[in-house]
Amino acid sequence: MSFTRPRILSIVLLATVVTIVCAQITAGQDSAAASSLLISVTWKTNNPSGNSPLISGVESAAVAANPGFGAANVWNNLQNPWAPPLTKNPSWKNLQDSTGKTTNVTLSLTGTIQPVDLWPWIPNPDPLRSAFIAWNSWTQGGGGGGAGETASLAWKLTGLPPNATFDLCIYGTVADAERGFNMTVQGKTEIVHVPTFNSANAPPPYCVMFSSVVSDASGTLTGKGAGIGNNLTASNEADWSGFQLLQVNPNRPGPSKTGFWRGAN
């Protein structure tokens, strides 16, 4: 059996249309998954000597890890009182998404932390990474915010879509010295180091990416930040400035993006 030329052209055109429509549907699904939920969090305090500006908009290191973070706009600038006193087990309800819409998401921390903002005192301060929460430092020596900081910090996000897949960019800090802590997410055995960089070296923006973490059936994500070394001096301090959480397509192709990512200055 043979086809006439018009019929062949019709079949080719139909196949082309089907291909384009399928590609549009797939792209739409990817876009919808990527934009379904984006929550950005940073911690601030009321340093009487001066404070870093509030954060909003796109963070370049996260975009380098996943372009979907480029939709970032509104951030949750979460306040903790200047230490002393230290802050124990803080929590924040109804976080906003990137459009400013109030969600049912709650963030809770378990541990005793010291709120810090080094903005007035360090060279090359970073608006996002120079304000942070700290633990595992000076707990025995009584310096900093006073004795009592915990050696590790547990965190929990509730109110998320259940059984959903997320990319999570964790932000360490820029401070007065090099140090860091270890983070685990959702009970995985994989431990990722989150560094603190010496601000005098003008480090570029960075984040530590946890790729394809999945909320449980109740819509919960959990993690733990463990301090490194003894808690006698600030050289072992754990410093965490914030994070961004992006819902993604669980069926996207390609390898895991978990690891360290740098952005443009």
- DSSP for 105-153, written as a single string: -EEEEESEEEEEE-TTTSSS--TTTTEEEEESSSTTT--TT-TT--SEE
Give the mean pLDDT of 208-223.
96
As a whole number, mean pLDDT of residues 119-130 equals 96
| Of 32-41, 82-91, 93-102, minimum mean pLDDT range | 32-41
Render the burial of 30-58: b for 16+ CB within 10 Å, e for the rest: eeebbeebbbbbbbbbebeeebbeebeee
The pLDDT score that the predictor gives to residue 18 is 31
pLDDT of residue 254: 83
| Residue 121 reports pLDDT greater than 70 | yes
Q: Are 142 and 154 in contact (CB under 8 A)?
A: no
- Tell me the average pLDDT across 157-164: 98
Superfamily of domain 37-262: Galactose-binding domain-like (2.60.120.260)
pLDDT of 145 over the 80 cut:
no
For the chain, how long is the longest CA-to-CA vector?
90
Beta bridge partners of 110: 154
The answer to whether 76 and 95 are in contact (CB under 8 A) is: yes
* pLDDT average, residue stretch 120-133: 96
